[in-house]
Structure 1
Amino acid sequence: MTIKAMDIVGRISYNCDILFRVIDIRVENGRRIAILYGEEYRLAADAPYEDLIKMEANVRRRMAEEGRSREEQSYILFRQDVELLKQKQEYEVTDGYSKALNYFQMPGRVLHLDGDPNYLKKCLSLYERVGVPVYGVHCNEKEMPLKIGSLIDYYRPDILVVTGHDAYSKSKGKIDDLNAYRHSRHFVQTVKEARKKIPHLDQLVIFAGACQSHFESLIQAGANFASSPSRVNIHALDPVYIVAKISFTPFVERINVWDVLRNTLTGEKGLGGIETRGVLRTGMPYNKPEKDE
């Protein structure tokens, strides 16, 4: 069976545990090598052409349904968290429900840079579903450090997401060697450039990284949250759940790291961070727009 670009495949040597999209097929040293991007996980990989098998439509459907089920469970848990935050805010603003006050809320604005246009589309859909104001920009990982400064100036976000694809290659170096990672060094440099613009950790909250990214370097560069402490794969939507929690947490409250991670699809093996303030602001009065007669 011929395999070509954009086909959905699995790796035989890994028992087809992850669905990949074929991005390119190259010839290196006389062998055909496929460049792969994960369909659900932010993983980039190289694989010998002969190690690939085209996934049948019924298998793809089954794995996609399992993935959607996990996503929906995370979404339900996240909505419960947001509802509790709103109830707490309403109680405080109305002085224990003793006053009828008209108030409005301003969730934190997100600038989301993504190296994969398909993942970006999925993330923007989820942001819209949960009600987070977001600007999405597709940008090749290598170009992110060059563009981040002007993007921050233009969009003026409260929260920055820097993500795409990544992978650790044991053949390229030890696990603490940044050069052994596909895009970690680009993410690190992007975070550093962002911190030149806004150094304070609570004035711009940053999530950075993808599958198997060099977590420690990203945190040291200035990220509040990053992947991947145990060098595992992270789900395409994990960054959304993290920054949405931050977006809906009042700026007067600190965010417990575990509270942010517990409803993600990957958890603390793939995601981590430091204590950070929320960015939600409440104001009053709220004047409802008049309806046209």
Structure 2
Amino acid sequence: MGIGDIVVRKSYGKDITFKIIDIKEVENEVIYVLKGINIRIIADSPSGDLEVVRADFSGEKDQIFNRQVNNRIKKIISDRNEFTRIQKAPKITPTKELMFGRPGKILHVDGDATYMENCLKVYKQLGLDAVGQVIPEREQPLKVIELVKQIKPDIVVLTGHDGIAKDASNYMDLENYRNSKYFVESVASLRDYNSSYDELVIFAGACQSCYEKILDAGANFASSPNRVLIHCLDPVFVCEKIAYTNIDKVVPIHEVLENTITGIKGIGGLQTRGKYREGFPKSPFVS
């Protein structure tokens, strides 16, 4: 087995597929460092517990996640097509054919290039204007403000990898987390730059992140309330709901979470105003 191979763990019933991202030796034993294909998880495993599989192999949990993702995408597009609320003006009745709109612009900063690529594909499927930047978690607090100044997004996502120490007893101590402190620092910097939760919407966190501290720093949405692993596309589905909700509506948090894969155990947050602006009339020169 080598770096880049796709593997499953036999002791877990081959439920989740991983990619080998590093190989190290610990006390004369070869240990493989694994990254989840769909779940934002980093794990260690000895060679005896691993089995190499084809790149298109899907474990039981992977198959469930894939079905959930496909169903979420279909539901989102279906719901969006059905939503035709129009504000009527005196003497002029806007017709659906002449209406157009602009969803909120998204800046997605991810510590993992593979997850970033997967997220950008789904943003495109959902008709979202998203710019992706791959930046290691520890560098995000140093670079996010300049990116926001350049890109001028309505919504910012800060994610990557995280995790809580196995022997941790204090779930509020940032030192017990792999990267939560960097997400907290990034969010705090963004709120210093723009304090309005309506003008700049922020999602921050990854698997098992310190949910409470990230929200306290100023995020609209964060992971992970129950310190569980989150799906790599959960931030995308949160952003879609905000980006395509009209600016005259504050979205109840339970509606934001309905389309996520992980649900309330993995994602939470605050009521947030939508970022979609309707326009009228549509230009006859634009297809």
Provide the TM-score with structure 2 as the length reference. 0.90
- Structure 2 residue 132 is matched with structure 1 residue 133: no
Aligned to 1:285: 281
SS at match of 1:57: coil
Distance 2:121 2:87 in 1: 31
Paired amino acid for 1:124 = L
Distance 2:252 2:112 in 1: 30
Aligned to 2:218: 222
Question: How far does the alpha carbon of each residue in 1:142-174 deviate from its partner, in whole angstroms, 9 at most, with x for none?
Answer: 111111011011001000011111122222553
Paired amino acid for 1:19 = T
Distance 2:65 2:45 in 1: 26
Greater Cα shift, 18-27 or 170-179: 170-179
Paired amino acid for 1:178 = L
Whether the aligned pair in 2 keeps the contact of 1:94 and 1:100 (CA below 8 Å) is no
Distance 2:189 2:286 in 1: 44
Aligned to 1:175: 171
- Structure 1's 100 and 69: CA in aligned 2 closer, same or farther, altered over 3 A? closer
SS at match of 1:60: coil
Distance 1:224 1:242 in 2: 11
- Structure 1's 253 and 23: CA in aligned 2 closer, same or farther, altered over 3 A? same
Which of 92, 104, 113 aligns to 2:87? It is 92
Whether the aligned pair in 1 keeps the contact of 2:243 and 2:274 (CA below 8 Å) is yes
Deviation for aligned residue 1:212: 1.2
Question: How far does the alpha carbon of each residue in 1:246-269 deviate from its partner, in whole angstroms, 9 at most, with x for none?
Answer: 000111110010101011111111
Deviation for aligned residue 1:79: 1.8
- Alignment RMSD: 2.3
Distance 2:94 2:153 in 1: 33
Distance 1:273 1:49 in 2: 38
- Structure 1's 11 and 174: CA in aligned 2 closer, same or farther, altered over 3 A? farther
- Structure 1's 221 and 58: CA in aligned 2 closer, same or farther, altered over 3 A? closer
Deviation for aligned residue 1:231: 0.9
Paired amino acid for 1:238 = D
Aligned runs of 1:1-293 on 2, under 5 Å? 3-45=1-43, 47-50=44-47, 52-57=49-54, 60-61=57-58, 63=60, 65-84=63-82, 86-88=83-85, 91-93=86-88, 98-100=93-95, 102-289=98-285
Question: How far does the alpha carbon of each residue in 1:211-257 deviate from its partner, in whole angstroms, 9 at most, with x for none?
Answer: 11111111111110111111111111111111011000111110010
- Structure 1's 99 and 171: CA in aligned 2 closer, same or farther, altered over 3 A? closer
Paired amino acid for 2:188 = K
Deviation for aligned residue 1:192: 1.2
- Structure 1's 93 and 34: CA in aligned 2 closer, same or farther, altered over 3 A? farther
Deviation for aligned residue 1:58: 9.0
Greater Cα shift, 71-80 or 237-246: 71-80
Whether the aligned pair in 2 keeps the contact of 1:36 and 1:44 (CA below 8 Å) is yes
Question: How far does the alpha carbon of each residue in 1:37-70 deviate from its partner, in whole angstroms, 9 at most, with x for none?
Answer: 111011122x242463124339824555543322
Paired amino acid for 1:217 = K
Distance 1:4 1:122 in 2: 23
Deviation for aligned residue 1:30: 3.9
SS at match of 2:264: coil
- Structure 1's 165 and 199: CA in aligned 2 closer, same or farther, altered over 3 A? same
Aligned length: 284
Distance 2:165 2:195 in 1: 32
Whether the aligned pair in 1 keeps the contact of 2:111 and 2:159 (CA below 8 Å) is yes
After TM superposition, the runs of 4+ consecutive aligned structure 1 residues lying more than 4 A away are 62-66
Distance 1:283 1:59 in 2: 43
Paired amino acid for 1:21 = K
Q: Which runs of 5+ in 2 are unaligned?
A: none
Paired amino acid for 2:5 = D
Paired amino acid for 2:46 = Y
- Structure 1's 148 and 290: CA in aligned 2 closer, same or farther, altered over 3 A? closer
Distance 2:6 2:286 in 1: 51
Q: Which runs of 5+ in 1 are unaligned?
A: none
